[in-house]
Each structure stands twice: as C-alpha cells, then as structure tokens.
C-alpha cells in the first residue's frame, strides 16, 4: 500500500508557495485516506545557524500551519524530526552510501553555499542524504513536494538503489515524487522568474501565512505584471511569467485548472483580475491564519501533539532501522 512522507523546514515563516506547493496537498492526500506522515524537519533547519528560541517557535509555527490547513493528528502522523532518532541514524548510514560528488551537484546546495562552499556546514552538504533517510526510514512510496525538491528526490532514488545494490537486497522502495497541480512552483510577486521564498530579502515578494488581509491585498495589488490583458489561451501566457504566476495562484487557490481560469478571465485587465485574486487569497488564507494564531496561544498543546506523533513515527521507523542494521552487519542486542 502507498505511504506518503513529506517535510517542511522550520527555517522561517511559511509562504503561499509552501501552502500551495505542499501543505494544501498534504491535507488532500490525508483526506484521500492514504497513510500520511508529516514532519517538521528541525535537523535540516540547523544546517544553517538558527537562533534556538526562534527555532523552537518556528517549529511550533510550522506545526500549527499543518494543523490549521487540515492535518488531523488522528489521521496523519505529525512530529518534529529530531524526536525520532532513526532519521539521524539512517542518515549516517546513507552518508556512507551516497557519494560526495552527488551532493556537490545539488542546485540547492550551490545556491545556499554561494561562493563560500568551504565555509558552509558539513550538514548543508549532506542535507539530501538526511532527506533520503527521512523518507526511507518509513519506506515511504510517495512524496508530495514543490518543483524545487525534484532534484533531492531523484537523489533519494539513487541512494535507495545504491543501498539495495551494494548490499544485494531489495529493501528500499524507489520513491515517487508527487509534483502536481497548478502551483508546483509559485514565483515571487516582484519577479516572475524567481521562486517565492521565505529567504527573499523583499517581504513584498511573498505572501506569508501570517499576513493579514490588508497586506495580502496590498501585495497582490502591487504585484509586478505586464500591461497586456489576460490572453484567451494558456499558450498566450508563455512569455509572461508574472501573468502566468498570478493565473496559477488563482487556479490553485480555487481548485481549478489554469485553463479554466483563462477561459473565465480571457481579455480581463489586471485591474479587475487582481482584486478577484486578492479576495480569493484572503478568503482561503485568513481562516488558516486565525486558526494558527489560536493554536500558537497554547504551545504546550502543540508540543504534546508533536510528542504523540513522534512516538507513532518511532514505532514505524524503529523496526525498519533494525532491519537496516542487520543488512549492514551491525550487532544489536535483542
Ligand atoms: P522547504 O521547507 O523549503 O519547503 C517545504 C515545501 O514547500 C515547497 N515549496 C514550494 N512549492 C511551490 N512554490 C514555491 N515557491 C515553494 N517554496 C517551497 C517545497 O517544494 C516543499 O515541498 N528539503 C525540503 C524539506 C524536507 C523534505 C524531506 C521534503 C526535508 N526532508 C523529506 C520531503 C521529504 C525543503 O527544504 O522544503
């Protein structure tokens, strides 16, 4: 049977990109009745230095965002990574399976390390190996993510295949990425060729899940566009990255295809399209923001939910890790 795993880093606030590319779809998978395991990856976050109090707070905030967007701890497992030591243990074994050259090729590493790769943490380089361990500690079969994680998931498949090959077993599944829907790559509101990101210096470039209705509306009103009205076919969006981005956001928020949105708004000016988009964004996000704020008022309750989720996750991962240790030749007392 399929088993879904995915994770989000608590390295800053959540954006509309995280919501449409990941969170919204996580809840859909849960509601389809598939086994779903979701993780706030605090160990990944510290590959770049994090202030400890902020890390705690952001971990709870991401957990609150999961809950507020429909993740139900009775139907999904929700926990923070560092509470389940199988991730770190399997991550080490994968560090010995994966090759250094594979890691240097990762575009996210190149982006984050910049010109000073030698000064970045060793963890930042090994990051995808831990990510493979997150997924494979549960022998998960499907991983819903945004487009930007595709390369990491290809590496996960390579690590699973090399482990199976090196040890002559057929133990780890070759995981399928699920990169679906109209908003697999939500772009910056200031530059349609750049990804919407929590680390962009301009707050105008993104919608945060914590933004209030007025700032969401203002950011959409000021979003960069071209002077042409919306075209009447998807093809007409080809060389118009900003226009395409707004149409995709509208489609994902309303649960329609981009084609359907284009059909509805063919020939419309941005002056009339943007207010509709803002209305839709506020209507979708404000209940989530309100619920996140309510949950954040009781951090102890969030910690209890994460603790219970961690115990459930551990119960699945521990026996898998035990089998891995047997395969590798590590003695364990029974
Ligand atoms: P992270 O924390 O950067 O992002 C979380 C999820 O949000 C998606 N996303 C986007 N989708 C569409 N448009 C955007 N602009 C956008 N920005 C972010 C990401 O693709 C991701 O799905 N390495 C992962 C975290 C991770 C993980 C895992 C994911 C660790 N272990 C195991 C899956 C399975 C990351 O940094 O995501």
Domains of the chain, earliest start first = 3-179+298-328 (3.40.50.620), 203-294 (1.10.240.10)
- The span from the CA of 270 to the CA of 134, in Å, is 42
Q: How confident is the model at residue 116 (pLDDT cuts 50, 70, 90)?
A: confident
pLDDT 10s digits, 182-219? 999 999 999 999 999 998 999 999 999 999 999 999 99
Cα(73) to ligand 1 centroid in Å equals 21
What pLDDT sits at residue 133?
A: 98
Q: Name the residue of 10, 21, 246 to mutate for ligand 1: max ligand atoms within 8 A of Cβ.
A: 21
Give the model's pLDDT for residue 52.
98
What average pLDDT does range 152-159 have in this prediction? 98
Which 3 state secondary structure label does DSSP give 315? helix
What are the pLDDT digits (tens) for 224-250? 999 999 999 999 999 999 999 999 999
Ligand 1, pocket-test mutation among 5, 12, 18, most atoms within 8 A of CB: 18
Asked whether residue 270 carries a pLDDT value surpassing 80, the answer given is: yes
- Structure confidence by residue, pLDDT tens digits, 10-33: 998 899 999 999 999 999 999 999
pLDDT score recorded for residue 284: 96
pLDDT (tens digit, 9 = 90+) per residue, 53-100?
999 999 999 999 999 999 999 999 999 999 999 999 999 999 999 999
Average pLDDT of the chain, as a whole number? 97
Average pLDDT, stretch 149-171? 98
- DSSP annotation of 23 reads I
Across the chain, where does the E strand assignment appear? 3-8, 35-40, 76-80, 142-144, 176-178
| C-alpha to C-alpha distances, 152 to 128, 135, 212, nearest whole angstrom | 6, 11, 33
Q: What is the ipTM of this complex?
A: 0.99
Asked about 195 being catalytic, the answer comes back as: yes
Whole-model pTM above 0.95? yes
Catalytic residue, candidates 24, 29, 195, 274? 195
């Amino acid at each position: 049977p399929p088993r879904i795993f995915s994770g989000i880093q608590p390295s800053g606030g959540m954006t509309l990109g995280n919501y449409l590319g990941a969170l919204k779809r996580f809840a859909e998978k849960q509601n389809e009745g598939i086994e779903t395991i979701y993780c706030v990856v605090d160990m990944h976050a510290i590959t770049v230095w994090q202030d400890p109090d902020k890390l705690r707070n952001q971990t709870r905030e991401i957990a609150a965002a999961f809950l507020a967007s429909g993740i139900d701890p009775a139907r999904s497992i929700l926990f923070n990574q560092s509470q389940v030591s199988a991730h770190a243990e399997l991550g080490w074994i994968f560090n010995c399976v994966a090759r250094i050259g594979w890691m240097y090729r990762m575009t996210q590493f190149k982006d984050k390390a910049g010109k000073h790769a030698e000064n970045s943490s060793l963890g930042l380089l090994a990051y995808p190996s831990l990510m493979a361990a997150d997924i494979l500690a549960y022998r998960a079969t499907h991983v819903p993510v945004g487009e930007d994680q595709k390369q990491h998931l290809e590496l996960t498949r390579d690590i699973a295949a090399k482990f199976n090959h090196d040890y002559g077993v057929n133990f780890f599944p070759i995981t399928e990425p699920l990169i679906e829907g109209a908003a697999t790559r939500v772009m910056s509101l200031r530059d349609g060729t750049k990804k919407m990101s929590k680390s962009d210096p301009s707050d105008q470039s993104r919608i945060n899940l914590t933004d209030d209705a007025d700032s969401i509306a203002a950011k959409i009103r000021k979003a960069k566009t071209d002077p042409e009205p919306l075209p009447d076919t998807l093809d007409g969006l080809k060389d118009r990255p900003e226009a395409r981005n707004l149409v995709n956001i509208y489609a994902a928020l309303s649960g329609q295809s981009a084609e359907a949105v284009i059909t509805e708004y063919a020939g419309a000016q941005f002056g009339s399209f943007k207010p509709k988009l803002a209305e839709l964004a506020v209507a979708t996000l404000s209940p989530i923001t309100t619920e996140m704020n309510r949950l954040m008022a009781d951090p102890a309750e969030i910690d209890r939910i994460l603790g219970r989720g961690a115990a459930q996750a551990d119960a699945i991962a521990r026996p898998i890790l035990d089998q891995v240790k047997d395969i590798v030749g590590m003695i364990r007392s029974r």
